[in-house]
Amino acid sequence: MYSKKQSMIYISRREHFNAAHRIFKDGLTDAENYARFGACSNPNWHGHNYTLYVTVKGEPDPDSGYVMDLKKLSMIIKEKIIDKVDHKNMNLEVDFMKGIQPSAENMAIAVFNVLAPEIERYNACLHSIKLAETDNNYVEYFGKQHDKSR
C-alpha cells in the first residue's frame, strides 16, 4: 500500500502506422533536394513504418487507480491520429500536416498539438510524443513548456 500522498505517474501507449511523405524545398532541383534531404526527397514519395509512443502523466484516480484508462487513450489516438495517417501521404492527405514539412520532428509536434486537448478532457496531461521512423531513428517532443527555443 502506498501513502495517500499521490505521486506523478507516467503511462504510455504504443501504436503503429505506415505513411508516405516527401521532404523537399520548392525551387531546388531534384538533385539539390536529394543532396539536402536524401531518400526522403524522392519525387515519387518515400515511406516509413512508424511507431508512435504517447506518454501521459498524472496522479492515479483514487477510485480506478488509473492515470487514464488506456482503452480511452488508445481510442483517442486511433480516432485523432492513426485513422488520419495510416497508409496516407503526409504531404497531401493529412489535415493537421497541411503546409508543414513532414519531417519526423514536425510530425511529433503536430501529433502533440492534436492530442493534448483531447487528453486533458480526462484530467490527465500529455507528457510526450515519441515517433520512430526506423529502429535507429526517432524524435521526442515534450510540448512548448520544455521547448527553450520558443
CA-based Rg of the chain, rounded to a whole angstrom?
Answer: 18
Report the candidate in 15, 150, 52, 28 with the shortest Cα–Cα distance to residue 101.
Answer: 28
User: How many other β-carbons are positioned within 10 Å of the β-carbon of residue 21?
Assistant: 26
Residues 10, 57 contacting (CB under 8 angstroms): yes
- CA–CA separation, 94 and 78 (whole Å): 14
Residues annotated as catalytic are 40, 87, 133
